[in-house]
Structure 1
């Protein structure tokens, strides 16, 4: 999209969240099954009431899974991503940790929301999300 005032190419942004939790068989990550049949990290567009990226992250995780984030997420990274041909979005990824993997409640935004083992991710998870999950897991291991 070309921005009217400047003529610059403008790319919309989306905040994604790696929500990690302890599980019986190791660390788990929360994923949602989107309308394209791909698993993805929870997240979405910032709203006008969001003051920080952490606000967007907490609101989106709550909306999409019913799970309340109880600590501030940390930055994992950012990437350009083309979810469909000809359309780009800037993904800004944050990560947070929960003590337990609470049972998610799917919203209308996803066909399913569930926990996956960090080492057993679904095949239909785009590589960009795998990279964010790996980065968050490494970051978490360093801070323990």
Structure 2
């Protein structure tokens, strides 16, 4: 059973994970997954640290599918209106990731290029136009 352990209050609550929507690596190297909770609306999707999850089967399936280049589910990813700016880009495992600062968030997050190109394409274009050397 895919669950998340959460220590809220006195007892330990467990919530079932319906699916994994995205994965991110924070600046300090911690890995988080964007989760869709079973029986919950999309507005309750949340980023959770890898170590809090008890759904190795879903994480393995998600990571395997994304290594094969299959389409990533972008439900729950930020829209262009939620993104403040793209701070940088990096190549990891032969894929480009953008370091993105969201409005109202002090930490930047990495998003894969295929997700960024679909959800906030104008910002991706602006990012490269600002760095283009037009001589």
Q: Higher relative CO (CA 8 A, sep ≥ 6), structure 1 or 2?
A: 1
Q: Give TM-score scaled by structure 2 length.
A: 0.27
Larger radius of gyration between Structure 1 and Structure 2: 2
The structure with the largest helix share of the pair is: 2
